[in-house]
Amino acid sequence: MKFSVDKHEKYVVFKLNEDKLNSIITPMLKSELILLNAEGIRNIILDLSEIKYSDSSGLSAILLAHRLCKGGEQEGTFVLTGISPSVEKLIKISQLENVLNLVPTVDEAIDYIFMEEIERDLKGGAEE
């Protein structure tokens, strides 16, 4: 599996450099996502701009990433970006467009994460 990980203070951009997200790639992707989560990374941007095709196993990896970011004490944000029309169709057929955070570009995904972080900080400050 070819990919790049760009780590920042508040988020990680995980870019898949493959054209298919299928059962061959999915186990490796899941293990990388679990490792990032174990490092304490709570905000992940998954850049699928190279992916032209995904099957249901790819969708399960996406849902795992979503669950890893949302779960635990450190609630985070998972954002999908660079989605091809065929992957978008799979997400819509699965009725997940309202569950997942979908944005067109990595820059917009970064902005989305910063807005979520500000919101969490404000909520945390209100509770104290």
Q: What is the CATH number of the domain that holds 99?
A: 3.30.750.24
Q: Which residues of the chain have pLDDT under 70?
A: 72, 125-128
| pLDDT score, position 80 | 97
- Residue 111 · residue 118 · CB < 8 Å: no
Q: What is the pTM of this model?
A: 0.92
Domain of 88 in residue numbering reads as 3-127
- Residue 110 · residue 7 · CB < 8 Å: no
Q: Please give the tally of structural domains in the chain.
A: 1
Over residues 49-81, the pLDDT tens digits come to: 999 999 999 999 999 999 999 886 778 999 999
Q: How far apart are the first and last CA of the chain?
A: 45
Q: Tokens 């570009």 map to which residue? A: 105
